[in-house]
Amino acid sequence: MSELWDFIRICVNPDNLQELKEIWDQ
């Protein structure tokens, strides 16, 4: 369940979203 909250936090945080995009680009 904590993973879900991490995902939500990323979705609502532009900075985290940018970090996630960089991870996907690798």
Per-residue pLDDT tens over the stretch 1-26: 788 888 888 788 878 778 878 888 88
Cα distance between residue 22 and residue 1, in whole Å: 24
Q: What is the pLDDT of residue 3?
A: 87
Is the pTM for the entire model greater than 0.85?
no
Q: What is the pLDDT of residue 2?
A: 83
C-beta of residue 17 within 8 angstroms of C-beta of residue 10: yes
Cα distance between residue 21 and residue 1, in whole Å: 22
Taking CA atoms, 25 is separated from 8, 9, 21, 22, in Å, by: 20, 20, 6, 5
Q: What is the pLDDT of residue 10?
A: 77
Cα distance between residue 11 and residue 13, in whole Å: 6
For the chain, the structural domain boundaries read 1-26
